[in-house]
Amino acid sequence: MKVLLAGGGSSHEREVSLKSSAAMERALQDLGYSYKYADIKNELDVLKEWDSSYDIVLLGFHGRAGEDGLLQATLEANNIPYTGAGVGDSLLAFSKDASKRQFVRHGIPTADWELLLHTPGTDLPKTRLDMSYVIKPDNEGSTIGLSICEQDHDLINAKQTSGAFSRLIFESFVPGRELTVGVVGGEVYPIVEIFAGNALYDYESKYTKGKSRYQCPAELDDSLTQLIQDYAIKAMESVGVQVYGRVDFRLDPHGKPWCLEINTLPGMTETSLLPMGAAARGLEFPQLIDAILKHSLKKYS
């Protein structure tokens, strides 16, 4: 197999993408595959790097331009095979509003929310939700632009953090435990519990070394584990996500799980959450990358 590994990109998550791509490159070396790594500034420039000698593009991007379906549509228009979710499923999953609508339609519990349009630099729009609530951009990843509002004065900081974006999700805050579930090729991995360094698993908690800690498998009874894993599969199916993804949950103090969102190009460093679940399943990182490549190629056979 000859692989074009494409990473970097133009989103707010470029630095994370570079780390994921570096880990993927080491995995390709371990697997013995022929490959080329391209650090790309504009995601659509993948087309310039591609030629017919390659079998597939391994997508190392994170964030809007690599994860929202535009790149996937461009690759499909040019008959270029690529890893992960397709056009429509990427688009639906990347919009928190659209994906939560699908969760509701398919009976997957998700916190109450409201999508509000906003002009950056102005006061935040008024929501029908009672505090406490979370504000986050509808179409960004890595919890970029996320704010927690428990009291009115929290709106001051939220205006700076979340107010830089025009499509905002106001979502009822679910107290409790932070969980995430990886799914690859229809197989669900052990649940990871995140003990975040901040009130939510925000950008600082994710990418500051030692800020958060993790446990996998999470300490949950068998029936609750099965329920959450079932919801993860159902959530992926509700938006049609193919090949692989990671589904995030909150578990409230009453033991009820609430589905937050699906990540179609989750972090893929050797210490990221999806690889953590794979490791608990017995898959080393190169084996995980190999599985993603092979399951992705099945879409084109």
Residue-by-residue pLDDT tens, the chain, 301 positions: 999 999 999 988 899 999 999 999 999 999 999 999 999 999 999 999 999 999 999 999 998 889 999 999 999 999 999 999 999 999 999 999 999 999 999 999 999 999 999 999 899 999 999 999 999 999 887 578 899 999 999 999 999 999 889 999 999 999 999 999 999 999 999 999 999 866 555 555 555 566 789 999 999 999 999 999 999 999 999 999 999 999 999 999 999 999 999 999 999 987 799 999 999 999 999 999 999 999 999 999 8
What residues are annotated to the active site? 13, 142, 207, 246, 248, 261, 263, 267
Q: What fold, for 113-172?
A: Dna Ligase; domain 1 (3.30.1490)
Q: Where in the chain is the domain with CATH 3.40.50.20?
A: 2-84
* pLDDT (0 to 100) of residue 290: 98
* pLDDT (0 to 100) of residue 29: 98
* pLDDT (0 to 100) of residue 13: 87
pTM of the model: 0.93
* pLDDT (0 to 100) of residue 174: 96
Copy the structure tokens of residue 114. 């409201």
* pLDDT (0 to 100) of residue 212: 80
* pLDDT (0 to 100) of residue 31: 98
* pLDDT (0 to 100) of residue 12: 85
* pLDDT (0 to 100) of residue 202: 57
* pLDDT (0 to 100) of residue 214: 95
92-109+175-299: CATH homologous superfamily? ATP-grasp fold, B domain (3.30.470.20)
Q: Where in the chain is the domain with CATH 3.30.470.20?
A: 92-109+175-299
CATH architecture of 2-84: 3-Layer(aba) Sandwich (3.40)
Q: Where in the chain is the domain with CATH 3.30.1490.20?
A: 113-172
